[in-house]
């Protein structure tokens, strides 16, 4: 079973529907025992970092998620909360990835919304995908580039489009909204 973490963030239904279309059973949950017992965990989200971390702390998920041993995929806000901290509401996050999350500069249109291609380092998450493939982004904050960055994108500044540390993976873009290439990336994760 695939656990999709519930934490009052948007886009969870879209992720659950994408996983089901690929033929995998899943459950949206914030129950610690279900998350720990899942074969894989997806940590999606659209929302605000500070209130999301309050919800996660109240349920002790801020301690559970970084301690998971199965493959974990963070999406959008999920990626940002896996970083050390966020400028959004001056939020301390999980610290899985060694970088901070910052707001895009006011010199351009924010949020960054639309389709972009990536510069990808080798990772099983991107197996079978090519550099011309584009992914769908919508975000006002971005994770800086660090040693765990496996794909970058450029919008006003270069940023981490995808990250990996051991069995923790994360994407700033939305694979569940990125058509067939996003479906392929989700399939790659679910087959790990």
Radius of gyration of the chain (CA): 15
| Residue 109: count of CB within 10 angstroms of its CB | 11
- CATH number of the structural domain spanning residue 124: 3.40.50.880
**174 counts as catalytic:** yes
- Residue from 76, 83, 93, 153 carrying the catalytic annotation: 76
Instruction: Say if residue 118's pLDDT is above 90.
Output: yes
Q: Is 167 an annotated catalytic residue?
A: no
Give the number of domains in the chain.
1
| Domain membership of residue 89 as a residue range | 2-190
pLDDT at 10: 79
pLDDT in tens, 141-185: 999 999 999 999 999 999 999 999 999 999 999 999 999 999 999
Residues 33-50: tens digit of each pLDDT: 999 999 999 999 899 999
> Mean pLDDT lowest for which of 82-86, 121-125, 160-164?
121-125
SS (H, E, C) 152-175: EEEECEEEEEEEEECCEEEECCCH
């Amino acid at each position: 079973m695939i656990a999709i973490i519930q934490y009052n963030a948007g886009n969870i239904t879209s992720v659950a529907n994408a996983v089901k279309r690929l033929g995998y059973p899943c459950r949206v949950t914030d129950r610690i025992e279900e998350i720990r017992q899942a074969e894989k965990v997806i940590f999606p989200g659209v929302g605000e970092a500070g209130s999301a971390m309050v919800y996660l702390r109240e349920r002790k998920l801020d301690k559970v998620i970084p301690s998971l041993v199965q493959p974990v995929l963070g999406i959008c806000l999920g990626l940002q909360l896996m970083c050390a901290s966020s400028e959004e509401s001056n939020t301390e996050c999980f610290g899985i990835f060694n970088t901070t999350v910052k707001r895009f500069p006011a010199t351009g249109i924010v949020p960054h919304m639309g389709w972009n291609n990536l510069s990808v380092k080798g990772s099983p998450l991107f197996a079978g995908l090519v550099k011309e493939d584009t992914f769908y982004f919508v975000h006002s904050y971005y994770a800086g580039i660090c040693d765990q960055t496996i794909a970058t994108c450029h919008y006003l500044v270069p940023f981490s489009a995808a990250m990996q540390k051991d069995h923790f993976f994360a994407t700033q873009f939305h694979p569940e909204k990125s058509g067939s290439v996003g479906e392929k990336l989700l399939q790659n994760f679910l087959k790990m």
